[in-house]
């Protein structure tokens, strides 16, 4: 619950800019997979940028397709297979899945899957995160050995109508999206004190997101209700889609939606340094862990959103010490 305006309505913007044109499915393209495949997003995905292989192996091009997607949106496995990679490449979260002779890649995607895990066609493999070369989109790739292929070939002619942003408009769409992201980032930096994520405090608790503290715990004028009210947690500014990490090992006790706090998740950390500690995460786009699940320190438990009574993407962190609501920063 804070004032910062962070409007990443890229999807809406892209949708407005779309000039819809139907292109035929690749004629007679033989399906590459012995198993069925499908789009990695629900609904009718929109191709923001198509596959343009480089003329030479080391040349520049676009080695996949970009599908319009919202931060926090569920990303699905395009076919059954085995997780070949789940981690960070040059700061962006990437998932790769092997399907026999071919491999599909998805980025930026935050996942809790591990290498070697089996996934089914249409299974949720994670959610769209932040980072990557396009904003508000999923970069979907396909490789056979070292060669990059057009992932739309996987659909084997079942692609139906594809909606493409014409090349002439794509640059405008991307420039606009970049400008918005930059403006939002500089607004954050000028308003807030930057904090390092992942640096454990005296009790070994991490900051749950790599973001600035944008509003501290304590009495303040509520930005939406315009009344003096206890701000019952610490706000961390972070773009929608940023990973939320467990600050400390614990067990998920409950997750639910509240009209003010949005999507909430509670972690019980048991007794730490003689103090019973509980934390709560609010306004997330979604959570990736379930009640009863044990989480380790630093594990990705959800993604930043702006659900509930919120004016922009951020995480509202709450801490209870021996059952008493406390200033999170007194403990972190
Ligand atoms: Zn707050
Ligand atoms: Zn791409």
Q: Could you list the pLDDT tens digit for every one of the 332 residues in the chain? A: 443 333 333 333 333 333 333 333 343 445 567 678 889 998 777 888 888 887 776 777 889 999 988 877 889 999 999 999 998 888 789 999 999 889 999 999 988 889 999 998 888 898 888 877 777 899 999 998 888 888 988 886 554 334 444 555 555 555 554 554 444 444 433 333 333 344 567 899 999 987 788 888 988 877 777 777 788 999 998 888 888 999 999 999 999 999 889 999 999 999 999 999 999 999 999 998 999 999 999 888 998 999 988 888 899 999 999 999 999 999 98
User: Which residue among 130, 164, 198 closes a domain?
Assistant: 164
Phi, psi of 61 (to 5 degrees): 180, -165
- Do residue 145 and residue 232 come from a single domain? no
Which ligand has the shortest distance to the CA of 308?
A: 1
- Do residue 240 and residue 299 come from a single domain? yes
Nearest CA to 242 out of 195, 301, 311 is that of 301
321 CA distance to ligand 1 centroid (A)?
Answer: 18
- Domain total in the chain: 2
Predicted pLDDT at 14? 36
- Do residue 251 and residue 212 come from a single domain? yes
In a domain, 139, yes or no: yes
Predicted pLDDT at 229? 79
- Do residue 206 and residue 105 come from a single domain? no
Give the Cα separation of 36 and 50 in Å (integer).
Answer: 22
In a domain, 178, yes or no: no
User: Which residue among 136, 164, 192 closes a domain?
Assistant: 164
Q: pTM for the full model?
A: 0.52
264 CA distance to ligand 1 centroid (A)?
Answer: 12
Which region, left, alpha or beta, applies to residue 216 given φ > 0 means left and ψ of -120 to 50 means alpha? Answer: beta
In a domain, 12, yes or no: no
Predicted pLDDT at 97? 97
- Do residue 131 and residue 215 come from a single domain? no
- Do residue 156 and residue 58 come from a single domain? yes
- Do residue 88 and residue 121 come from a single domain? yes
In a domain, 212, yes or no: yes
Give the Cα separation of 239 and 312 in Å (integer).
Answer: 9
215 CA distance to ligand 1 centroid (A)?
Answer: 7
Give the Cα separation of 164 and 204 in Å (integer).
Answer: 48
- Do residue 323 and residue 201 come from a single domain? yes
140 CA distance to ligand 2 centroid (A)?
Answer: 7
In a domain, 14, yes or no: no
Show the domain range for 282. Answer: 183-330
Which ligand has the shortest distance to the CA of 142?
A: 2
User: Which residue among 111, 137, 164 closes a domain?
Assistant: 164
The CATH number covering residue 115 comes to 2.70.70.10
- Do residue 101 and residue 35 come from a single domain? yes
Which ligand has the shortest distance to the CA of 51?
A: 2
- Do residue 105 and residue 204 come from a single domain? no
Nearest CA to 110 out of 196, 21, 239 is that of 239
222 CA distance to ligand 1 centroid (A)?
Answer: 9
Q: Give the ranges where the chain is alpha helix by DSSP (H).
A: 10-17, 167-191
In a domain, 59, yes or no: yes
Predicted pLDDT at 134? 73
- Do residue 123 and residue 55 come from a single domain? yes
In a domain, 5, yes or no: no
In a domain, 8, yes or no: no
- Do residue 240 and residue 277 come from a single domain? yes
């Amino acid at each position: 619950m804070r004032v910062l305006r962070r409007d990443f309505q890229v999807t809406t913007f892209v949708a407005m800019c779309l000039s819809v044109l139907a292109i035929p499915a690749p004629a007679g393209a033989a399906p590459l997979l012995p198993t069925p495949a499908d789009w990695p997003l629900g609904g009718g995905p929109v191709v923001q940028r198509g596959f343009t292989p480089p003329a030479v192996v080391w040349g520049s091009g676009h080695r996949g397709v970009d599908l319009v997607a919202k931060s926090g949106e569920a990303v699905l496995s395009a076919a059954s297979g085995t997780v070949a990679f789940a981690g960070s490449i040059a700061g962006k979260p990437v998932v790769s899945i092997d399907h026999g002779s071919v491999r599909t890649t998805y980025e930026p995607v935050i996942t809790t899957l591990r290498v070697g895990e089996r996934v089914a066609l249409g299974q949720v493999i994670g959610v769209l995160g932040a980072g990557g070369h396009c904003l508000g989109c999923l970069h979907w790739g396909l490789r056979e050995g070292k060669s990059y292929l057009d992932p739309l070939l996987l659909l084997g002619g079942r692609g139906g109508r594809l909606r493409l942003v014409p090349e002439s408009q794509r640059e405008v769409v991307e420039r606009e999206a970049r400008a918005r992201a930059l403006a939002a980032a500089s607004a954050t930096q000028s308003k807030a004190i930057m904090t390092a994520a992942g640096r454990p405090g005296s009790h070994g608790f991490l900051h749950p997101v790599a973001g600035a503290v944008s509003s501290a715990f304590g009495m303040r004028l509520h930005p939406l209700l315009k009344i003096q009210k206890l701000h019952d947690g610490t706000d961390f500014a972070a773009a929608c889609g940023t990973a939320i990490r467990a600050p400390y090992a614990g067990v998920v006790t409950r997750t639910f939606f509240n009209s003010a706090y949005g999507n909430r998740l509670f972690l019980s950390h048991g007794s730490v340094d003689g103090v019973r500690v509980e934390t709560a995460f609010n306004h997330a786009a979604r959570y990736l862990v379930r009640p009863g699940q044990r989480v380790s320190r630093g594990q990705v438990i959800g993604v930043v959103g702006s659900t509930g009574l919120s004016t922009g993407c951020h995480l509202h962190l709450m801490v209870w010490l021996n059952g008493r609501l406390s200033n999170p920063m007194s403990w972190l």
